[in-house]
């Protein structure tokens, strides 16, 4: 498969270009709106073509798959253009600025007859696939509660991610979209019916000391945003039509040590994702815990690309990360922000 990458920022350079190659693809072109950046990384990675405009990349007939690694605000424009050019699309998370954008992206893919994979790479790890199978087979019984907690002491990055007009939000959309994708993937995309949320913005003027730096800031092209207008913390509850509740707490800046975990409560067994383990009663009534099998050195991004390549070759109608699930993620996130704006009132979906 011949791959073109739009956006040569941190995630493209560190993850997507190596992963597409590990999956058996050939990266043939890069594009970035910053003059000269795509050419510089094309030289570094031995990529044949480089463009300062995405139109040049999309005009290449040999490009079959486009990996979209641009900032969130440009996802819709780039994805719709890629579909119009007849390309399959792998799009980084967060999926879009809101559900309306995500729905338009998914519809563009359907109209073009091309595949869309909205990636969160962790759902392609073998441990996650195994846990999904066990849940679908009823091994954990009825799932009634899921709980996600993620806290970073100094996790708010530098640069554009500090500004809502570019990032769409802060903790409530950034890593949260990955956590939601994992839950919806594992549980078969249950139907959300209400969201109750609060967001907190306590560290607006605190400079970022995160080791993760977006490419513009790292290269000295743009200054850091001195005051961020995205939330530090989001906490919310989702009720699902199937009777399940999800409790989510995410924070990018807090006076606490880094911690995180995901827990799934079932009537016959429970599961943790960090580490991936199933918990239940044994035949003797004692605790019986089981580590889920998986390769320790798996590259989730490479497995994600490999899955998309397989779907294209096998002429499948959709990937395991379709636009519909990404739309569901954004529906929940939109409702979370709406609830927070109303002081934590329940928002019905």
Q: What is the CA radius of gyration of the chain?
A: 20
Q: What's the pLDDT score for residue 310?
A: 98
Q: What's the pLDDT score for residue 29?
A: 98
Q: What's the pLDDT score for residue 158?
A: 84
* Burial class (CB within 10 angstroms; exposed 0-12, middle 13-18, buried 19+) of 78: buried
Percent of the chain exceeding pLDDT 70 equals: 100
DSSP bridge partners of 261: 149
| Cβ 189 vs Cβ 328: under 8 Å | yes
Q: Where are the domains of the chain?
A: 2-119+300-320, 123-294+329-348
**CATH classification (class only), 123-294+329-348:** alpha beta
Q: Determine the Cα–Cα distance for residues 266 and 254; give it in Å rounded to an integer.
A: 31
Residue 32 binned pLDDT confidence (cut-offs 50, 70, 90): very high
Please give the span between the terminal C-alpha atoms of the chain, in angstroms, as a whole number. Answer: 40
Nearest to 331 by CA among 117, 226, 184, 204: 184
Nearest to 235 by CA among 217, 254, 219: 254
Residue 221 binned pLDDT confidence (cut-offs 50, 70, 90): confident
State pLDDT tens for residues 147-176.
Answer: 999 999 988 888 888 889 999 999 999 989
Least confident of 96-105, 290-299, 300-309, 322-331: 290-299
CATH of 2-119+300-320 given 3.40.50.300, 3.40.50.12280, 2.60.40.420, 3.40.50.720:
3.40.50.720
State pLDDT tens for residues 236-257.
Answer: 999 999 999 999 999 999 999 9
Query: What would the mean pLDDT of 171-194 be, rounded to a whole number?
Result: 95
């Amino acid at each position: 498969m011949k791959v073109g990458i739009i956006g040569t920022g941190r995630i493209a350079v560190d993850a997507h270009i190596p992963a597409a190659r590990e999956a058996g693809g050939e990266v043939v072109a890069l594009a970035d709106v910053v003059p000269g950046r795509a050419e510089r990384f094309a030289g570094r990675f031995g990529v044949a073509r480089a463009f300062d405009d995405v139109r040049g990349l999309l005009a290449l007939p040999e490009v079959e798959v486009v990996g979209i690694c641009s900032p969130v605000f440009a996802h819709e424009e780039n994805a719709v253009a890629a579909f119009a050019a007849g390309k399959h699309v792998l799009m980084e998370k967060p999926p879009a600025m809101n559900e309306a954008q995500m729905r338009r992206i998914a519809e563009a893919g359907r109209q073009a007859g091309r595949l869309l994979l909205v990636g969160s790479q962790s759902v392609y790890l073998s441990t996650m696939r195994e846990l999904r199978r066990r849940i679908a087979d009823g091994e954990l019984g009825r799932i009634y509660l899921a709980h996600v907690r993620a806290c970073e002491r100094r996790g708010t990055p530098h640069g554009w991610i500090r500004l809502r007009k570019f990032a769409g939000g802060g903790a409530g959309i950034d890593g949260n979209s990955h956590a939601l994708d994992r839950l919806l993937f594992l549980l078969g995309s249950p139907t959300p019916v209400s969201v109750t949320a609060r967001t907190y913005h306590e560290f607006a003027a605190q400079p970022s000391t995160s080791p993760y730096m977006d490419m513009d800031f790292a290269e000295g092209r743009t200054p850091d945003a001195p005051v961020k207008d995205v939330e530090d913390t989001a906490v919310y509850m989702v009720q699902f039509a199937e009777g399940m509740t999800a409790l989510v707490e995410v924070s990018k800046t807090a006076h606490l040590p880094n911690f995180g975990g995901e827990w799934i409560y079932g009537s016959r067994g429970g599961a943790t994702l960090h580490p991936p383990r199933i918990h239940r009663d044994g035949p003797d009534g004692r605790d019986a815990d089981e580590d889920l099998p998986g390769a320790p050195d798996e590259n989730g991004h490479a497995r994600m690309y490999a899955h998309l390549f397989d779907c294209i070759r096998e002429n499948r109608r959709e990937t395991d990360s379709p636009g519909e699930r990404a739309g569901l993620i954004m529906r929940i996130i939109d409702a979370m922000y709406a609830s927070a704006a109303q002081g934590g009132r329940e928002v019905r979906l």
